[in-house]
Structure 1
Amino acid sequence: MKKKHLLVGTALVATAGLLLTGCSTSGGDSPEASNGEAASGETRTIRISTVNPPTSIDGQILEEVAATIQERSNGELVMEVFPAGQIGTTSDTAEQVANGEDLIAYMDASAIGQMGATDFNLLGGPFLFDSTEEVNNFLGSELFQEMSDQAAAEQGIRILSLGWTDGPRHIFANQPVPHPDDLAGIKLRTPPIDTWITTFDLLGAVPTEVANTETYSALEQGVVDAAEGPINGTYVQRWQEVATHVTLTGHFQTLIGFGISEALWQSLTEEQQQIISEEFIAGGERAQEQYAAEIESTMALMEEESGVEFHEADSDAYRERTAPFYEGNEELYEQVREAAQG
């Protein structure tokens, strides 16, 4: 399998065949099964998109997932991984999935919310989950299953797993920001997603939309003063080289993983669906464990290599300042919190 190591928003090659999942058989035109599923023995090429580099923890595990799916399907499913945003930003590729393109894309709950599944916006909210254990409790709940089914039916996004959680997110800046007041007027990089923009508006920062792949240069050139992200994920993108003060806010425990076009999902056989589902869930579990195991050692590397200083945050002040995020959605908030507590 030829690997395309660019970015999740890969520049699409100029052939229409790469825009949609390619299908072929050794006997010429591939017949379709009468029930709309792919015919047995048909070879299917499916693109997988992520904004993270191939050297990241989830980037490496994604390659393993792709290889295992191909092996388990006896070569019927050929998975091509496009890392580092080659196909587009997280928002771009979530939209492509929602529009029915043959694609598996890296996405979080808020990106799904942007596609019209408005309840998912709450799932990306600040200080909603206190730990990875709470995240996993929620992902295993009936409430999450109901929400996932609705996203498949109404938005065309079949969630494979949102358990690729990479730990709490913190603020990387050129100065410590232990209290929300310290963010006043600071230009902070956000993706073009309402959850991020609303949260940092509430905190007094100036949300500034910058693509994930352009964040390093934006920090270096002063386009933004700060960014936010998880310890391991930011390390591989080297943000700590240009933002050496990290305030440990833990403001998001992001539900993040992969979703597939519902149209593509329904075109697969039940066996193929099972293989894909099982491998993305298992891959998320491995990624989650590895991220958690490496946070402390990664922080040590940041200190040693880049002189990063870590600062504790006034968590109560941050929680209080962002509490209005949930106004008007109190009932769903309580349901999510109940599910998270198991």
Structure 2
Amino acid sequence: MKRNILGLLGASTLALALALPSIAHAADYTLRASHAEAADSPLDKGYHVFKAYVEGASAGKIEVIISPASQLGSITDVLEQVKAGAIQVAQADEQTLDTFYKPMMILAAPYLFSNDEEARDFLASDLFARINEDMANETGLRMLSAGSYGFRNFTNNKKPIQSKDDMSGIRMRVPPSPMSLIMVEAMGGSPTPIPWEELYSALQTGVVDGQENPIGIINDYSFAEVQKHLTLDGHQIGLTSIIVSEQFLQSLPVELREIVRTGAQMASATEYGERNYQARVTGVNDLKEKGMEIAFPSPEEIATFRDAVTAPIQEFLNKELDPAFVKSVYGEIDAIRAKRRALVE
């Protein structure tokens, strides 16, 4: 018992010693980090992993202050603040980053990725590194990391949707994104843009029949109370990225830059792990228990959705972006798929 007590005392002393640098002197750098989700959400937990790692690994040279739940403004607002240097780190998602750097819109293309691993490989590719570098040079915003918070899936109150033909006659709420409008229209549905703040009541009162979001969001915002059917088609990936001020990052010594990058990657991995488990297990089970009927389309049925949207989405992207760039992105993802298939053949 005495040895155990001494061991505990030793561990406590070591923990205190590791914490002392941040207590003993003021930090050399203050890093203010903003995100839009509630405290203790998977995203917020990731930011706290970021804080713990960066402050500890920098021996207290960097202090991290987290502002959750849109305390500093909307996602777009805080990205503007990062550009202006008012804060140093902020959340972005696949729906907002293209406001600052248009080529990023391609990450929101329907059925661009078949699964999270393809997205992870693409974000780690040399091609995406060049895209990120160009964004940093052009806008002063650099993506430190990104992680999936789940694929978007359709819900509705009218009927089960198993394939593209079932979308006919469905008034589907979409965010104010051209690709979301094109996607639902190409499937035969009626796309209806409605602000996020009005979505629940629009579903409740029948202004629209359905909506589309990842499992975690469907659960978090109690859409099962006003929706009957869920289709796990995974048409768009939800990506939460951690964006840093390029000016701030370059102001740090090289060793501290690497600590900030590593901490951001840990943060994204934390959110992804919890959201992935929720999307595959707990979230789906919760929605079943709340009375939702869940459709699991086969690969052939998912192909009917994908085939309906491919041509109009490609046409849109080629008008908005350099066609050579669009081709290079799809080519990179095709190469990633081929490489992953080769591993199991």
Q: TM-score, normalised by structure 1?
A: 0.77
Mapped pair 1:170 → 2:158: no
Structure 2 residue aligned with 1:77? 62
The residue that corresponds to 2:306 in the other structure is: 319
Q: Distance in 1 between matches of 2:73 and 2:185?
A: 26
Alignment partner, residue 292 of structure 1 = 276
2:334 maps to 1:338: yes
User: Offset of 1:130 from its aligned partner?
Assistant: 0.9
For 2:64 and 2:29, the matched residues in 1 are separated by: 11
Contact 2:149–2:214, Cα closer than 8 Å, also in 1: yes
* Cα deviation digits, residues 22-76 of structure 1 (max 9, x gap): xxxx99xxxxxxxxxxxx9524141322x32224322222222223323333334
Determine if contact 1:141/1:339 at 8 Å carries over to the other structure: no
Q: Secondary structure at the match of 2:33?
A: strand
Residues 258-311 of structure 1, C-alpha deviations (whole Å, 9 max, x = no match)? 11222332333333322211011122223323332332222111111x211112
Q: Report the CA distance shift for 1:236/1:121 in structure 2 as closer, same or farther (over 3 A).
A: same
Matched with 2:75 is 90
Q: Hey, what does 1:19 align to over in structure 2?
A: none
Question: 2:214 — aligned with what?
Answer: 230
Amino acid at match of 2:176: P
Secondary structure, aligned partner of 1:166: strand
Taking the aligned partners of 2:86 and 2:202, their CA distance within structure 1 comes to 31
Task: Tell me the amino acid that sits aligned with residue 160 of structure 1.
Answer: L
Q: Kindly tell me the number of residue pairs found equivalent between the two proteins.
A: 300
Larger Rg: 2
Aligned to 1:36: none
Displacement of 1:320: 1.5
Q: Distance in 1 between matches of 2:199 and 2:253?
A: 40
Output aligned runs, 1:20-169, within 5 Å. 41-49=27-35, 51-115=36-100, 117-162=101-146, 164-169=147-152
2:19 corresponds to which residue?
Answer: none
1:279 is aligned, of 263, 279, 286, to 263
Going from structure 1 to structure 2, the CA distance change for 1:215 and 1:101 (only over 3 Å counts) comes to farther
* Structure 2 unaligned blocks of 5 or more: 1-23, 340-345
Deviation of the 1:167 alpha carbon: 2.6
Partner of 1:255: 239
Output aligned runs, 1:192-207, within 5 Å. 192-203=176-187, 204-207=189-192
Structure 2: distance between partners of 1:185 and 1:173: 11
**SS of the counterpart of 1:168?**
strand
Q: Match for 1:72: what amino acid?
A: A
Greater fraction of residues in helix:
2
Q: TM-score, normalised by structure 2?
A: 0.76
Amino acid across the alignment from 1:83: P
Instruction: Compute the displacement of 1:252 (Å).
Output: 1.0
- Aligned equivalents of 1:77 and 1:244: distance in 2? 48
- 8 Å CA contact retained: 2:170, 2:210: yes
Task: Tell me the alpha carbon deviations over residues 96-143 of structure 1, each in whole angstroms, 9 at most, x when there is no partner.
Answer: 43455424222134422222x332212220111111121111111100
Work out the CA distance in 2 between the residues paired with 1:302 and 1:55: 21
SS of match in other structure, 1:130: coil
Instruction: Indicate the SS of the match to 2:149.
Output: coil
Aligned to 2:18: none
Contact 1:190–1:207 (CA under 8 A) maintained in structure 2: yes
| Contact 1:166 1:287 (8 Å CA) reproduced | yes
SS for the counterpart of 2:96 is: helix
Quick one: which amino acid aligns to residue 177 of structure 1? Answer: I
In structure 1, what is the Cα distance between the partners aligned to 2:265 and 2:224? 30
Letter of the 1:298 partner, please give it.
Answer: G
1:255 match: secondary structure? strand
Please say if 1:269 is aligned against 2:253: yes
**Compared CA separation, residues 104 and 172, structure 1 to 2 (3 A):** farther
Report the 3-state secondary structure (helix = DSSP H, G, I; strand = E; otherwise coil) of the residue aligned with 1:192. coil
- In structure 1, distance between residues paired with 2:113 and 2:275: 17
Aligned residue number for residue 11 of structure 2: none
Query: What CA distance in whole angstroms lies between the structure 2 residues aligned with 1:46 and 1:88?
Result: 13
SS of 1:54's partner is coil
Relative distance call for 1:278 and 1:141 in structure 2 (3 A) is same
Q: What amino acid sits opposite 2:247 in the alignment? A: A
- Note closer, same or farther for the CA distance 1:106–1:320 as it changes in structure 2 (3 Å cut): same
Distance 2:110 2:43 in 1: 23
Residues of 2 paired with 1:277 and 1:302: CA distance? 36
Any idea what SS the aligned residue of 1:88 has? coil
Alpha-carbon distance change, 298 to 109 in structure 1, aligned in 2, over 3 angstroms: closer
